[in-house]
């Protein structure tokens, strides 16, 4: 049996960050990963999708806006396969970077599938066909999630795809239906629309990005429609029929049934935890009815010495949240007494065109919680930097406590707004007010001036 101070199950953003932190703190650490270092985010999620989005931005500019920028594209040739191949190179480079960091930190990496045999022991079926047993007083579960599958519409990789298959597919569909208008769905729509595909998004809720501010979802919907993307909100998926040429997607809105023909349908309706595959019952780790691991704000499970971070804990399914949890738990195990994370201030970013970014309270959640708030709002329509970029759609909306003016949330729609989040979440974490933001000098011309203007409206 191999013995360690810390064993981390899963080498995604949370897992490898936790391993690096525990190794940095002088603890003998191992990582067990059944697939690829970097997890979903690095290999088939956040990173390759941003590479594809950059390609789509260039394609969209050359296809639709070239005359605006004085560029002639009469014989434009767009190679979508080359874009996918570039995204794979980006992922491979970062995958190798994670391997280097772990090796340099002295973390032992094992590729295989782990299962608990008791609270502090694991049996691992290694990918090379051998098996081994491991023991550690501290085990960090960072096993991530898998896409939800709808019975009778399971992905085949050709006509019915999940996000993993879609991001690796090197053939651009002429017509595609995306089931799910969340972050992944709208990002795929942005990529394929940029290359000229006919895209239809189907969302069961009343607006795109149903977990975001309703006004932001409506703003994105207006922009998508202008770009030629078809939107069907408040619409349920009834079934998918495969045909010789593609698929027929059957839908229902209220009592009206309809059908959409396409080359492919991509189903991105949610995730479920990989944790049930770890034999957690043998460790005594408590789980929720929906399959998430029960963990407190410090990521401690019901079993001392066993922790759950990232998607496995089901708190915030975001890579940067997992990384933050990994660092916190790495310091907690080492006895450094880290502060608990502010999950309510965790930033959210959607890399559609335009982007959507937020943190903290939305108007809907503030009302539901009985929070008395004020709103300050300003648009990009007259922002010099946005006009120079040719992207002046959208706005910044700040939410502040009605009595103190302390910032309690924000939502932004517009160019590169994901890059504007840290100023606001840092301000909220330290109790700064809208006045503090408004009085802070922002460089001109920058997109961040819209934040200053919104703060000045409080």
pLDDT at site 173: 96
Single out the residue of 351, 343, 341 nearest to residue 317, CA to CA.
Answer: 343
The model carries a pTM of 0.95
Which whole number is the average pLDDT over 186-190?
A: 98
The boundaries of every CATH 3.30.390.30 domain in the chain are 354-456
pLDDT at residue 73, rounded to an integer: 83
Residue holding tokens 């703190």?
25
Percent of the residues in the chain that have a pLDDT greater than 70, as a whole number:
100
- Would you state the pLDDT for residue 172? 97
Mean pLDDT within 380-393: 97
pLDDT at position 77 is 94
The CATH code of domain 2-147+272-343 reads: 3.50.50.60
Q: Residue 413's CB: how many other CB atoms inside 10 A?
A: 30
Kindly tell me if the per-residue pLDDT of 46 is higher than 90: yes
Query: In the prediction, which pLDDT does 127 show?
Result: 97
Q: In angstroms, what CA-CA distances link 440 with 13, 170, 404, 449?
A: 34, 47, 18, 10
pLDDT score, position 83:
98
What pLDDT is attached to residue 121?
98
Flag whether pLDDT at 75 surpasses 90.
no
In this prediction, residues 52-60 reach a mean pLDDT of: 97
Does the structure show a pLDDT above 90 at 453? Answer: yes
Structural fold of domain 354-456: Enolase-like; domain 1 (3.30.390)
The mean per-residue pLDDT over the stretch 217-235 comes to 98
Domain 160-269 in this protein, CATH class: alpha beta
Mean pLDDT of 296-312: 97
Cite the active site residues: 444
Give the mean model confidence (pLDDT) for residues 242-265: 97
- Predicted confidence at residue 74, as pLDDT, reads 83
79 pLDDT higher than 90: yes
Q: Where in the chain do CATH 3.50.50.60 domains reside?
A: 2-147+272-343, 160-269
Average predicted confidence (pLDDT) for the chain: 97
Q: What is the pLDDT of residue 290?
A: 86
């Amino acid at each position: 049996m191999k013995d360690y101070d810390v064993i981390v199950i899963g080498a995604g953003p949370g897992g490898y960050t936790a391993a690096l932190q525990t190794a940095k703190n002088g603890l003998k650490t191992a990582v067990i990963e059944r697939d690829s270092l970097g997890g979903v985010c690095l290999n088939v999620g956040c990173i390759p999708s941003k590479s594809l989005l950059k390609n789509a931005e260039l394609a969209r500019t050359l296809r639709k806006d070239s005359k605006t920028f004085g560029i002639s594209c009469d014989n434009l040739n767009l190679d979508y396969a080359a874009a996918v191949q570039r995204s794979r190179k980006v992922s491979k480079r970062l995958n190798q970077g994670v391997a280097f960091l772990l090796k340099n930190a002295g973390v032992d990496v094992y590729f295989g599938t782990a299962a608990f045999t008791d609270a502090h022991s694991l049996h691992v079926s290694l990918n090379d066909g051998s098996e081994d047993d491991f023991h550690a007083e501290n085990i960090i579960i960072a096993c991530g999630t898998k896409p939800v599958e709808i019975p009778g519409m399971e992905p085949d990789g050709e006509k019915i795809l999940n996000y993993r298959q879609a991001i690796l597919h090197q053939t651009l569909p002429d017509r595609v239906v995306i089931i799910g208008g969340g972050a992944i769905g709208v990002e795929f729509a942005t990529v394929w629309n940029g290359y000229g595909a006919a895209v239809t998004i189907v969302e069961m809720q009343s607006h795109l990005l149903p977990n975001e501010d309703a006004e932001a979802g409506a703003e994105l919907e207006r922009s998508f429609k202008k770009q030629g993307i078809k939107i069907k909100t408040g619409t349920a998926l009834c079934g998918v029929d495969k045909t010789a040429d593609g698929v027929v997607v059957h839908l229902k809105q209220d009592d009206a049934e309809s059908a959409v023909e396409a080359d492919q349908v991509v189903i991105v309706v949610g995730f479920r935890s990989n944790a049930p595959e770890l034999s957690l019952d043998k460790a005594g780790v408590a789980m929720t009815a929906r399959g998430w691991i029960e963990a407190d704000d410090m990521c401690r499970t019901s079993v001392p010495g066993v922790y759950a971070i990232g998607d496995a804990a089901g708190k915030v399914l975001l890579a940067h949240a997992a990384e933050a949890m990994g660092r916190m738990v790495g310091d907690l195990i080492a006895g450094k007494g880290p502060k608990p994370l502010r999950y309510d201030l965790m930033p959210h970013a959607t890399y559609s065109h335009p982007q959507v970014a937020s943190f903290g309270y939305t108007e809907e959640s503030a009302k539901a919680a009985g929070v008395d708030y004020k709103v300050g709002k300003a648009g990009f329509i007259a922002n010099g930097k946005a006009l120079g970029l040719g992207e002046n759609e959208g706005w910044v909306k700040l939410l502040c406590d009605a009595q103190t003016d302390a910032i309690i949330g924000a939502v932004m729609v517009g160019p590169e707004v994901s890059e504007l989040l840290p100023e606001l979440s840092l301000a909220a974490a330290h109790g700064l007010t809208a006045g503090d933001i408004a009085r802070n000098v922002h460089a001109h011309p920058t997109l961040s001036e819209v934040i200053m203007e919104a703060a000045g409206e409080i």
